Structure 1
Amino acid sequence: MLVLTRKTKESIKIGDDIEITVLSVSGDQVKIGIKAPKSVEIHRTEIYNEIQKENETASTTVTNLMEKLKNWNINS
């Protein structure tokens, strides 16, 4: 992990097209702004983890359904 120190209104660049700017600091909260192409998905970690969990559940459901359909065709 790269650790950087930035002050309010200072930013960092990630590659050529992503910029993260410190907007404000208040107590233990830091507000950041992120400029990135629309094609780059940006999520809070807890939201990202929920999306991954839902995708895994959906994938398992489809796999189970496909297996049931396969067995149904064989037994019909």
Structure 2
Amino acid sequence: MNIKVTVLVQKEDNWYIAKCIENGVASQGKTIEESISNLREALELYYEDTTPENINVPTFLTTMEIRL
């Protein structure tokens, strides 16, 4: 079974942090690619013995600008 998840990647100091929006699982790496690869492995372990809930729930992700 394959599922699609929404991933947010942010740089913190010398690391890239990849986080799954749907379940909060996160991982890190020295590059964007490494952080995503590590997150993929973490998610496979997370879902190893369970079926994801709400597989078809759409996630809306956007940006916004605020005045400072």
Instruction: Indicate the structure with greater helix content.
Output: 1
Task: Using structure 2 for the length normalisation, give the TM-score.
Answer: 0.30
Task: Using structure 1 for the length normalisation, give the TM-score.
Answer: 0.27
Question: 1 or 2 for the larger relative contact order (CA 8 Å, sep ≥6)?
Answer: 2
Structure with max Cα Rg: 1
